[in-house]
Structure 1
């Protein structure tokens, strides 16, 4: 009898193991079926425009199944794009409280900060972003989002707290943004001096505004040497700004040949419309009206331009008193046409305007709004 009992024990153990395994599988299958039902129910609520019920149903699944995080992130992003920031916040806040790997947790924290920013909760967004600045992977996007907050609140002075973090990046956009916000902070404090502006220009050479502000300040103080050097630096770096800078440079002291070389260089090498027009004026002043007319004719043939055509009309009016009256009426029509044209365009988003902005009102990028080129350009 004992021998039979010992023979049956392995059979009983195998049977117990088999039944236990089947029981575990049954529980897993039952759990997965429950998750599937809840997920299907949540998606059904979404499809029937019952978003609040859908979110409640889907958020309950987070406690059961954390493997579908990417799905929830996509859903929250969809809500944020639609302007449903409260729904995006609820999803991201729930995700933020889960115990997840550090890279995933930081990404969710960043997404939640963007939700808060979109909803106008700038303090909450800033608190989340500050810690992310120390993250290698998210440092740049976190800094850009922080700067967006400072732009919205006009708390320019806060940018200086992140100067070292910006210097550690290779982002031109961040360097240019930092330079501009430091300039704005000085303007608010009314402490802008040549020394402070030069310091900003030296630290952030990618930005043109510090040199521009230095040039204006130097002109106001009758420091023509400093003004000339600062404005010439911009012209060489960004010749498309000649339309704004050449009239300022005209106030500085130039030798006759030096001014001619500057204008001819911009006219011949860069095909700058303003430089060509000012060069024709210079030739007229030197008594070479025919040379000025020939210059304009050649340039208009090579590079059609409404503004150069207008300048050609002006030169011809000076040559002929008989033609002056008829040409004057044509010039008036041309001027009326030009008065309606935009002068600046954002190279980032395409925003167009007649006014100069250091920050684009549309995409909020610094120093992207530049003088336009083309047939109506300057």
Structure 2
């Protein structure tokens, strides 16, 4: 009889394993059913515009199932795009508390930082972004948000402390941002101190326009016209579209007529700049070459239809014909009124239009993208 009991032990063990397995399967099936039910309930709340209830229902699922992270990230990003930052923050904070693989956890940390920044919680965003600049995958993205954050709070010094981290990236926009931030920091500085900083910025960021522009401004103020003119000329030959703004400043350098004529001639004939055409015609007038000035404007207008060239030609002919002056005065006034209503600058990145120049685009927050417009109303 005792031997029979020993023979039944394996049978009992097998039966226990089988029943336990069925019990586990049953529990898993029950859990999945609950998840499906809760998920369906949450989606139903979303569809009926009961978003707060939906979020509570869906967040509850995170305690049960963390395999659908991408779905939650998509939902949080949807809320953020709609401006519902508090809802996005709640989802990302819940995800941030989960024990996830390092890469996934860092991505969620980055998304949560974006939520905080969008909601104006800059200190929280900064706290999450700073560690991410040490991670190669997210370094550039984290730096762009940190720089934008420091621009919003005018913490120029903190932004400039990111220089070494920026050098580890290939981002031209970040370097351009640091060059302009360096200029912003010197706006209230003494001229000599500012001049030294601008020289350093010009050497460090040769593709940035503003450091050269600011250095030329200081040189002109310190009665160094040759240096100022050299800087203005370099900018104009690289960015001839800036002629309308920079030529009046370069003219203040009062250099010999030959140097001025060469610059205007190059900008006019090689780069076909409207402001250079008009300035060159004015220079010819000052030299007593009235017909040459009128002929230049007429030829350029035929090659390149432009309202400002047309206005300059009207003013030129008005001076040469007293009989037609009264009629031309009326036409010139109409053209001037038309031009006074036109935008002067446009952001090449986002298309933002304005009559005032900004180094930082108010719309897309990119540096040195707001430039003089071209075309029939361009300068």
Contact map agreement 1:179 1:207 (CA 8 A) in 2: yes
1:305–1:377: 8 Å Cα contact kept in structure 2? yes
Q: TM-score, normalised by structure 2?
A: 0.95
When residues 43 and 190 of structure 1 are mapped into structure 2, their CA distance, relative to the original with a 3 A threshold, is: farther
How far apart are the structure 2 equivalents of 1:90 and 1:227?
Answer: 55
Partner of 2:214: 213
Alignment partner, residue 177 of structure 2: 177
Paired residue secondary structure (2:346): strand
Deviation at 1:92, TM superposition (A): 0.7
Q: CA deviation at 1:10?
A: 5.5
Report Cα offsets for 1:128-153 as digits up to 9, x if no partner: 11111111111111111112211221
Give the structure 2 partner of residue 159 of structure 1: 159
* 1:259-274 correspondence to structure 2 within 5 Å: 259-274=260-275
Maintained 8 Å contact 1:371/1:377: yes
Aligned equivalent of 1:238? 239
Give the Cα separation in 2 of the matches to 1:199 and 1:118. 34
| 1:57-136 alignment runs, 5 A limit | 57-136=57-136
Compute the displacement of 1:14 (Å). Answer: 4.3
Measured after TM superposition, the shift of residue 5 of structure 1 is: 6.5
Where do residues 247-258 of structure 1 align in structure 2 (5 Å cutoff)?
247-258=248-259
CA shift for structure 1 position 259: 2.0
Question: What are the Cα deviations for residues 50-93 of structure 1, in whole angstroms up to 9, with x where unaligned?
Answer: 21111111111112111111111111111111221111111111
Please give the alpha-carbon distance, in whole angstroms, between the structure 2 residues aligned to 1:141 and 1:309: 47
Rounded to whole Å, the distance in 2 between the matches of 1:181 and 1:364 is: 13
Q: CA deviation at 1:118?
A: 1.3
Deviates more, 1:85-94 or 1:5-14: 5-14
How many aligned residue pairs are there?
378
Are 1:201 and 2:182 an aligned pair? no
Deviation track 1:267-287 (CA, whole Å, cap 9, x = no partner) reads 122111000111111122222
Contact 1:240 1:272 in 2 (8 A): yes
User: Secondary structure of the equivalent of 1:345?
Assistant: strand
Q: 1:247-268: per-residue Cα shift (whole Å, max 9, x none)?
A: 1111224333332221121112
Q: Deviations for 1:350-372, whole angstroms, at most 9, x for unmatched residues?
A: 11111111111111111111100
The gaps in structure 2 that reach 5 residues or longer are none
Q: CA deviation at 1:9?
A: 5.7
Aligned equivalents of 1:291, 1:74: Cα separation in 2: 66
Q: Which residue does the alignment assign to 2:296?
A: 295
What does residue 47 of structure 2 align with? 47
Task: Provide the C-alpha distance between the structure 2 equivalents of 1:11 and 1:113, rounded to a whole number of angstroms.
Answer: 59
Q: Calculate the aligned-residue CA RMSD, in Å.
A: 1.8
Q: Provide the rounded CA distance (Å) in 2 between the counterparts of 1:288 and 1:190.
A: 45
Instruction: Decide whether the 8 Å contact of 1:346 with 1:369 is kept in 2.
Output: yes
Q: Indicate if the aligned counterparts of 1:159 and 1:182 stay in contact, CA closer than 8 A.
A: no
| 1:328-343 equivalences in 2 (<5 Å) | 328-343=329-344
Cα deviation code 1:101-121 (max 9, x no counterpart): 111111111111111111111
Measure how far apart 1:317 and its partner are.
1.5
